[in-house]
Amino acid sequence: MELLFFIIVSSSFFNFPSLRASFYVKLKMKDLNNEKKLAAKEAVKYLKDNQVVGLGSGSSATHAILEIGELVKNGLKITGVSTSSKSEELAKSLGIPTVDISSVSSIDVTIDGADEFTSDLNLIKGGGAALLKEKVVASLTKEEIIIADSSKKVELLGKFTIPVEVIRYASKYVMSEIVLLGGKGEIRLTEGEPLLTEEGNYIIDADFGLIPDPAYLATRLSEIAGVVEHGLFIKLAARVIMGNNDSTITFS
């Protein structure tokens, strides 16, 4: 989608009464939603009959679940494992059979989204507050496929804050430990009250700036007492499929 802006800058802007300048600025605006759809369509090509499939959460994963629903409608036989109540509800509405995670020992393929990713397949996830179940499912998965629009690719993780799921009792302590690690944390709110995850925990959004060594930071966060899980996903993704204008690029 292209937008053409016509900007007229008055002479007073330049401090020269006789000068008026006109600028045409042509900006290329990417259709990020369409990029997510393209990535989802590419990702579902990896699905086969009789697989156990992890169903991610968030806007990108929603496109994948919709695509899976169409495949199931046309005869694909898979069993889904959801990462949130929202993805579970969507799957059921589309006729995708699902089971509780406790009934499977492994998951063949999971398709999920990310808030940020790098070319070496490290991720930040958890913007939708489903990071705990997403990481459990990813850890059980043989092939984790991440789908994303092109705005999610970064050179270094960290522009997006790291969600840290904590037990409520430890929230103040965890925030003080985040400061000692060089970051700053804020409890995520919804309608003025702390957001509660599906497991009844708080989310602390931790800002460390750009992160040169995400694996090290992931280890340090995991060592803090009271941290249930964090949104740094290190060496869990097998590939990232990124929509890019009218095509896709796969990182693996």
What is the H or E stretch that residue 178 is in? helix 171-180
Give, in order, the Cα–Cα distances in Å from 59 to each of 94, 147, 187, 219: 16, 10, 23, 28
Q: How many CB atoms lie within 10 A of CB 228?
A: 19
Cβ-Cβ contacts under 8 Å for 70 (sequence gap 6 or more): none
The catalytic residues are 134
Distance, CA of 19 to CA of 77 (rounded, Å): 70
9's torsion region: left (phi>0), alpha (psi -120 to 50) or beta? beta
By DSSP bridging, strand 51-55 and strand 21-28 are: unpaired
- Euclidean distance between the first and final Cα of the chain, in Å? 29
